[in-house]
């Protein structure tokens, strides 16, 4: 997604949010960023069925939380943070199903189902190259750093907000947190290069 297109989407979501049209704001955001969120979850759960469950929960979390979203980050960053948190809850088996009684629940699930259906064929038929196999040797957090920074092109502050263990990372904490994730990323690139050399591959991992 080009920066201009992403900016237009963010502006549209914010206008809807400011107008109090929260369900439409959530719908626009999920439709725009859903395929990327779903593929992120597939990559970090390594299981499409589990990723489907987590994506449904993340979509519901977005729907529930949009009203209180404070815009301290972009909607894009916030959505990835919610998706990551939903995956952590799912994998730790601490998630408790809380029935959602809003009449619009069917709408958000229809959106999520369409995104899953449209995205799965691509994920299933995507060629698994040697670089992808190398990534799978990294820890989950290392893989997340690569996906968010290289594949999603997030800024370091966005990466910090997405991956922080703190529910709400304070603005004054951002520079230090961003610098720490940047250092971790450099270590991940070095490890990936080492793995590539051991595998006899010539791999270039460039920061975007």
| pLDDT recorded at residue 193 | 84
Name the stretches of the chain with pLDDT < 50: 99-101, 125-128, 202-208
Please tell me the distance from the alpha carbon of residue 119 to that of residue 124, in angstroms, as a whole number.
9
What are the tokens at 200? Answer: 């006899």
| pLDDT recorded at residue 203 | 40
- Cβ burial of 185 (10 Å; 0-12, 13-18, 19+) is buried
CA dihedral 85, 184, 47, 57 (to 10 degrees): 10
Please tell me the distance from the alpha carbon of residue 62 to that of residue 56, in angstroms, as a whole number.
10
At 175, phi and psi to the nearest 5?
A: -55, -45
| pLDDT recorded at residue 110 | 85
| pLDDT recorded at residue 100 | 46
Please tell me the distance from the alpha carbon of residue 202 to that of residue 131, in angstroms, as a whole number.
10
Q: Which stretches within 19-155 are classed as H helix?
A: 22-45, 48-65, 75-91, 105-125, 130-135, 140-146
Please tell me the distance from the alpha carbon of residue 85 to that of residue 59, in angstroms, as a whole number.
12
Q: Is the pTM of this model over 0.85?
A: no
| pLDDT recorded at residue 102 | 53
| pLDDT recorded at residue 207 | 44
> What are the residue ranges spanned by the domains of the chain?
1-126, 128-208
Please tell me the distance from the alpha carbon of residue 168 to that of residue 188, in angstroms, as a whole number.
26
What is the residue-wise DSSP string for 39-65? HHHHHHHS-HHHHHHHHHHHHHHHHHH
Q: Of 158, 52, 57, 170, give the one whose Cα is nearest residue 114.
A: 52
């Amino acid at each position: 997604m080009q920066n201009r297109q992403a900016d237009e989407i963010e502006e549209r979501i914010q206008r809807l949010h400011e107008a109090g049209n929260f369900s439409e704001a959530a719908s626009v955001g999920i439709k725009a960023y859903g395929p990327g969120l779903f593929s992120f979850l597939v990559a970090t759960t390594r299981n499409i069925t589990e990723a489907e469950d987590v994506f449904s929960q993340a979509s519901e979390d977005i729907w529930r939380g949009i009203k209180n979203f404070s815009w301290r980050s972009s909607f894009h960053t916030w959505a990835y943070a919610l998706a990551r948190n939903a995956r952590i809850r799912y994998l730790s088996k601490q998630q408790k199903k809380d029935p959602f009684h809003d009449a619009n629940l069917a709408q958000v699930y229809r959106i999520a189902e369409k995104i899953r259906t449209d995205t799965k064929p691509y994920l299933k038929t995507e060629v698994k190259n040697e670089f992808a196999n190398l990534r799978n040797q990294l820890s989950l957090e290392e893989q997340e750093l690569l996906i968010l920074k290289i594949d999603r092109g997030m800024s370091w502050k966005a990466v910090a907000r997405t991956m922080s263990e703190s529910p709400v990372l304070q603005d004054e904490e951002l520079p230090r947190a961003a610098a720490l994730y940047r250092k971790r990323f450099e270590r991940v690139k070095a490890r990936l290069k080492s793995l590539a050399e051991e595998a006899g591959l010539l791999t270039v991992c460039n920061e975007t």
